[in-house]
Amino acid sequence: MENLQQHIDSVMQKASEAFKIYRKVSGKDKAVFLRTIAQNILDLGDSLIQTAHQETNIPEARLIGEHTRTCFQLETNARLLEEGSWVEARIDTALPERAPMPRPDIRKMLIPIGPVVVFGASNFPFAYSTAGGDTASALAAGCPVVVKGHPAHAKTSEMVAEAVLKAVSTCGLPDGTFAHVAGHSFEVGRALVLHPIAKAVGFTGSLNGGKALFDLANQRPEPIPVFSEMGSINPVVLMPEKLKAEASQVALTYANSITLGMGQFCTNPGLILAIDNPDLDTFIETLSKAVEQVAPAAMLNAGIYQNFEGKRTVALSQEGVKTEVESLVEKTGIIQAIPTIASVSSSIFLENPTLHQEVFGPYSLIVKCTDLDNLLQVIQHLEGQLTSTLMATEEELQDNPEIVETLRNICGRLIFNGVPTGVEVCYAMQHGGPFPATTDARFGAVGPDAIKRWVRPASFQNFPEKLLPAELQSQNPLNIWRIVNDEWTR
């Protein structure tokens, strides 16, 4: 324990010293840094893909796509920095003649908060791990990053970390701007979160893991924010008219979404709500025929497989739960998940909180409601979600505003006639939601706005012009958008 603490102390002290310099690095220079990281990752070539494939069982095609996405996230943040308006500069100039009290000159902008601890995710070895969205956005904000590599893809994490460290050196940035800490034990993460130099935490993973880190951070003498994205069951509401017209088509769409990547996405549709009628029977029949033909595939690792099997077994053993279908394709490996669809009545679902829990993997529960009022009642009892989906006609949206509003209030992203799987990296994306989906629904983990997790607003009052940050100087040398005396201007 003493050696671990000494190592963490050394890492965090270097991050603290680096912050004194890195927080002053210009947006354009940080953009060069992020692009250098992306190029270094690209230069690792096929060896990185093969290493990740061997460690995670993720197909090469998906890893190539995720690899591209990771570099795109770095590029997106680089463009954000070059444009510069993300700092939200606000200027209210002095009004010395104002009665009865003069107004001082006040200027405000977002500034970095300090060293950030990032925990790599097991299911995304690139996009949500060592140089993923949390790291990219924290570095963009001007915060040094200390990554706790995920043991499920330790070699992959080390390779990417070397690419980042190489960029630190190439760009002449201070030692400690980035660090990578390995280790299987919870004590490593605990020591990082509790270290007084850490100023924020980024995490993507399970509810138990994210909540544990959140609780640790709030027990510190100086509590710090923890931005945990902890998954959800992503309810899908099948409205009756939509189901009547397209039951089979919708079923085939959702068979693909539920089993995509063996269900190992935080946006996997784990809950389907519908009114019990012949159209739902058609939906279930088509869905079952499709799912029973999906071959079981190896999950990310033995731990995730065991967790899936355990939670699946518990869910299916609950009173009133019926197994509608399991894959009929024979398993050929020891950690292969069996795609499964189950159903239950709305009355039992409402009474049994166990059925509200995420089963991380290719599993979805259909809740059979009696009518639209009962459907609304079920929605009102759902916890916070990353996404909610409405499969409906436009008329059904117009005629059922309370269902639409209730779904909107429990999620970060409301989807119309689509699937929740697939998270676009763009300004308009909100990848977050009310607890327990995340620990703070005001922020998202995807897209340029993710940078706002690692900053805080700071005001400068009556400061000498030449000592102000460039973003707040009257002549606007960076040519960024600002609000000056209540008006947007460049």
Single pTM value for the model: 0.95
Cα–Cα distance between 394 and 302 in angstroms, integer?
44
Burial (Cβ within 10 Å: 0-12, 13-18, ≥19) of residue 157: buried
Cα–Cα distance between 174 and 455 in angstroms, integer?
20
> What's the helix, strand, coil split of the chain in %, to 5?
45, 20, 35
Domain-by-domain residue ranges, the chain? 2-230+441-489, 235-416
Reference 380, options 349, 412, 359; nearest CA is 349
Predicted pLDDT of residue 184: 82
Q: Which residues of the chain have pLDDT under 70?
A: 1-2
**Active site residue: 229, 246, 324, 471, which one?**
229
Cα–Cα distance between 81 and 269 in angstroms, integer?
35
| pLDDT tens-digit series, residues 95-112 | 999 999 999 999 999 999
Predicted pLDDT of residue 248: 97
Homologous superfamily of 2-230+441-489: Aldehyde Dehydrogenase; Chain A, domain 1 (3.40.605.10)
Reference 116, options 143, 85, 80; nearest CA is 143
- Considering the four listed CATH numbers 3.40.309.10, 3.40.50.720, 3.10.300.10, 3.40.50.300, the one that applies to the domain covering 235-416 is 3.40.309.10
71 catalytic residue (yes or no): no
Beta-bridge partners for 109: 458
Cα–Cα distance between 385 and 372 in angstroms, integer?
21
Amino acid at 269: P
Beta-bridge partners for 483: 90, 488
| Four-CA torsion 468, 470, 474, 479, nearest 10 degrees | -170
Predicted pLDDT of residue 2: 59
The answer to whether 134 and 128 are in contact (CB under 8 A) is: yes
**Active site residue: 71, 143, 266, 369, which one?**
266
229 catalytic residue (yes or no): yes
Predicted pLDDT of residue 73: 97
Cα–Cα distance between 124 and 56 in angstroms, integer?
9
| pLDDT tens-digit series, residues 336-372 | 999 999 999 999 999 999 999 999 999 999 999 999 9
Predicted pLDDT of residue 64: 96
The answer to whether 447 and 427 are in contact (CB under 8 A) is: yes
User: What is the residue whose two structure tokens read 């590599």?
Assistant: 149
Element (H, E) at 368: strand 363-369
Predicted pLDDT of residue 183: 84
User: What is the residue whose two structure tokens read 């002053």?
Assistant: 24
Predicted pLDDT of residue 333: 87
